[in-house]
């Protein structure tokens, strides 16, 4: 059934209906669609474009439609291709022909842009909230494991000892940048597109600023053609989501490695692992593996939308219908990944002794021995070469840096004294007492800053949710 006009002499082919319908996925926008319609209806009545009585009838009817959908009473039909058509069709059933006046001074082109922006601004707040939760988990674990010494790696080779707390706070920094990207994107999402019409603006005396105020937008778009063609704000969310998933994947990869028998640094709680259908001894880090594996989905959605946009002439093209499935699946992938990673970390236990042993092994203190010589006036490049030779002697004689005889040290460089063999992992860590370093004092300062940053995020989330709730027209009638 065609709801739109009398231009056509026949109904669309069933194949066309199935191919072009979007109701299977855009039905989740019903609250945003109806909220936007209420604001639009109020504006029409306020400007005299429709009568006050008609506006009241339409708004009351829209609330009934919202309740029908929320309570599962709405029957969805592919013949009514999208959520906009379903809402208007049901509204017509409820209040009669006056329902047709709702679509005065708007197009589905600016309507869907509004729905997506309303949806995304809610999702961004939810995303930032979950990032704050994950940051809080990292802070808790960094506090719990504050004095645990761990091996730091480059090229997946043991490099230098660090505090495990310092290692965890590296991920905190990544997720802080992610939160900043989402909050920055929010500014560009929170602009009202309604009023652009199909592409050229509208010949009615509309009040876009009133609609923006009703819905809690910071302003209105400035070019009607750009407005209906723009999906940059969706790309920005997908790009930020892709980076967040990359960071989650890096953390998940380390969890997978660290829980192996070969590493043995970490043990996951049984509630965040699975077993094998064949091997009864197995305890698999499937949650971490799935977080790692789901990254490609979000990357794919970002690439998909970028490719979709790159060849589109102005203004609206039906290709843009493809934005919603990409966005919805990215959201449905990212948010659970953030939640499950928090839970997995919160319930994990650490093998501090195993980590300490690994941190001291593999000549990870070689740089500190070189620094020992630098303090005694040896240029670093020369000290580097000297210690390289000492490592060769250790390998040839089966010694470590801490038990290599002093005469072996002095055979390479006479500046060594007995205290060189007192260099240990804790001394190495404590020596790196610079901003951003792994020394306990610096880690304490970083933890304090991290806690404040997370508190700032939570305050931002609270402000946005309060503001959005105040402008949710389905729960805040005029």
Q: Do the beta carbons of residue 315 and residue 109 sit within 8 Å?
A: yes
Backbone angles phi, psi at 171, to 5 degrees: -70, -35
Alpha-carbon span 429 to 167, nearest angstrom: 12
276 tagged catalytic: yes
Q: Do the beta carbons of residue 386 and residue 378 sit within 8 Å?
A: yes
The residue among 22, 83, 91, 31 whose CA lies nearest residue 55 is: 91
Q: What is the DSSP letter of 350?
A: E
Alpha-carbon span 426 to 440, nearest angstrom: 10
Q: Of the listed 51, 276, 339, 462, which one is catalytic?
A: 276
The residue among 227, 238, 234 whose CA lies nearest residue 111 is: 227
- Beta partners for residue 153, in sequence order: 158
Backbone angles phi, psi at 151, to 5 degrees: -80, 130
Q: Of the listed 155, 205, 261, 271, which one is catalytic?
A: 155
| Strand ranges (E), 218-270 | 219-220, 266-267
Alpha-carbon span 270 to 255, nearest angstrom: 14
- Beta carbons within 8 Å of 114's beta carbon, 6+ residues apart: 32, 36, 192, 193, 194, 215
155 tagged catalytic: yes
Alpha-carbon span 412 to 137, nearest angstrom: 48
Task: Report the catalytic residues.
Answer: 155, 276
């Amino acid at each position: 059934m065609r709801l739109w006009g009398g231009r056509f002499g026949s109904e669309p082919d069933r194949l066309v209906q199935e191919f072009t319908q979007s109701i299977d996925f855009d039905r989740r926008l019903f609250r945003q669609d109806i909220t936007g319609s209420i604001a639009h209806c109020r504006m029409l009545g306020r400007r005299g474009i429709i009568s006050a009585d008609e506006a009241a009838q339409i708004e009351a009817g829209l609330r009934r439609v919202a309740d029908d959908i929320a309570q599962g009473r709405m029957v969805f039909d592919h013949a009514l291709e999208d959520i906009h058509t379903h809402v208007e069709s049901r509204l017509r059933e409820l209040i009669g022909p006056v329902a047709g006046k709702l679509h005065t001074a708007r197009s589905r082109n600016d309507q869907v842009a509004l729905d997506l922006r309303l949806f995304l601004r809610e999702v961004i707040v939810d995303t930032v909230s979950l990032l704050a939760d994950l940051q809080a988990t990292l802070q808790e674990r960094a506090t719990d494991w504050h004095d645990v010494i761990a091996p730091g790696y480059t090229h997946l080779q043991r490099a230098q000892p660090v505090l495990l707390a310092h290692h965890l706070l590296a991920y905190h920094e990544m997720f802080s940048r992610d939160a900043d990207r989402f909050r920055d994107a929010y500014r560009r999402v929170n602009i009202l597109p309604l009023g652009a019409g199909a592409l050229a603006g509208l010949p009615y005396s509309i009040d876009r600023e009133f609609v923006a105020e009703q819905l809690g937008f910071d302003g209105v778009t400035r070019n009607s053609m750009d407005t209906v063609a723009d999906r940059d704000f969706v790309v920005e969310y997908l790009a930020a989501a892709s980076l967040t998933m990359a960071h989650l994947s890096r953390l998940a990869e380390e969890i997978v490695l660290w829980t192996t028998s070969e590493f043995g640094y970490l043990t996951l709680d049984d509630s965040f692992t699975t077993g094998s259908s064949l091997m009864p001894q197995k305890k698999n880090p499937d949650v971490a593996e799935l977080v790692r594996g789901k990254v490609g989905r979000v990357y794919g959605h970002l690439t998909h939308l970028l490719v979709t946009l790159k060849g589109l002439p102005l203004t609206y093209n039906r290709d843009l219908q493809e934005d919603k499935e990409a966005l919805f699946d990215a959201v449905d992938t990212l948010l659970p990944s953030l939640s499950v990673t928090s839970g997995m970390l919160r319930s994990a236990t650490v093998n501090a002794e195993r980590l300490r042993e690994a941190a001291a092994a593999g000549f990870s203190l070689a740089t500190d021995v070189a620094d020992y010589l630098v303090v005694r006036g040896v240029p670093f490049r020369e000290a580097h070469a000297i210690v390289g030779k000492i490592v060769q002697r250790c390998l040839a004689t089966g010694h470590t840096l801490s038990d290599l005889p002093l005469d072996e040290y002095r055979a390479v460089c006479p500046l060594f004294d007995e205290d060189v063999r007192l260099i240990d992992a804790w001394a190495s860590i404590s020596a790196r007492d610079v901003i951003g370093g792994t020394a306990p004092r610096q880690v304490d300062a970083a933890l304090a800053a991290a806690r404040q940053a997370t508190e700032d995020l939570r305050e931002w989330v609270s402000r946005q949710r309060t503001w959005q709730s105040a402008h949710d027209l389905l729960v805040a009638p005029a």
